[in-house]
């Protein structure tokens, strides 16, 4: 997608979030956003179902309550994406491809990551409180100092994952 078109869409979305005239919710369903520069943007409540965000930069962006997936067939691709410090609280990312994504310092509180691929992801200092990680693939992921209090870890693959300093109080296993 053309960077100018993306900027215009993000600007209209910001107006929509603020309740200003000329605003419209961002609908980027199945959009090709590979390598898009979306850092520091507010895409709360945007429709990104099925979008390809491979290697996109979403550093410090807000994606709170964004529609990222609804079913396995419209899963979002965030392979190698940069989401450092991003707010992904309350998002649904079921079956998402987030392999090698950089999520250090990201807020994923209450996120639904059921059956997602987070293989080799960097989740250093990430907030995963009460997140649903059931059946997620976290093989080789770095979860150093991640907060997993109250998270659902049923069936998670943590093979070779770095778990130094994680918080697990109230986490559910089995």
Domain range for 65 is 28-174
Query: DSSP string spanning 91-129?
Result: -B-TT-B-TT-B-TT-B-TT-B-TT-B-TT-B-TT-B-T
CATH code, 111: 2.160.20.80
**For residue 174, what pLDDT band results from cuts at 50, 70 and 90?**
confident
| 14 falls within a domain | no
Q: Answer whether residue 74 shows pLDDT above 90.
A: no
| 116 falls within a domain | yes
How many domains in the chain? 1
| 6 falls within a domain | no
For the residues 60-83, what does the mean pLDDT come to?
Answer: 83
The pTM for the full model equals 0.92
pLDDT > 70 fraction of the chain, expressed in percent and rounded: 97
| 13 falls within a domain | no
Q: What is the rounded end-to-end Cα distance, in angstroms, of the chain? A: 42
Q: What is the pLDDT of residues 5-58, one digit of tens each?
A: 999 999 999 999 999 999 999 999 889 999 999 999 999 999 998 899 999 999
| 54 falls within a domain | yes
Per-chain mean pLDDT for the chain = 94
| 4 falls within a domain | no
Structure tokens at 98: 């987030």
Q: Answer whether residue 71 shows pLDDT above 60.
A: no
For the residues 113-122, what does the mean pLDDT come to?
Answer: 96
| 88 falls within a domain | yes
The pLDDT assigned to 69 comes to 75
| 19 falls within a domain | no
Q: Which of 14-18, 50-54, 73-77, 164-168 has the lowest mean pLDDT?
A: 73-77
Torsion of CA 37, 39, 42, 46, to 10 degrees: 40
């Amino acid at each position: 997608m053309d960077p100018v078109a993306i900027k215009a869409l993000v600007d209209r979305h910001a107006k929509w979030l603020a309740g200003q005239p000329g605003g419209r919710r961002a609908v980027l369903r199945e959009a090709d956003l590979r390598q898009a520069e979306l850092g520091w943007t507010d895409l709360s409540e945007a429709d990104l179902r099925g979008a390809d965000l491979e290697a996109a930069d979403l550093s410090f962006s807000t994606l709170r309550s964004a529609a990222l997936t609804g079913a396995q067939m419209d899963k979002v691709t965030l392979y190698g994406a940069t989401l450092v410090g991003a707010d992904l609280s309350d998002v649904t990312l079921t079956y998402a491809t987030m392999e090698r994504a950089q999520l250090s310092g990201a807020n994923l509180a209450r996120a639904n990551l059921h059956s997602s691929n987070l293989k080799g992801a960097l989740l250093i200092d990430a907030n995963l409180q009460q997140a649903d990680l059931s059946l997620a693939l976290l093989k080789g992921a770095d979860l150093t100092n991640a907060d997993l209090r109250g998270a659902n870890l049923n069936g998670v693959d943590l093979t070779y994952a770095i778990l130094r300093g994680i918080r697990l109080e109230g986490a559910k296993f089995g």
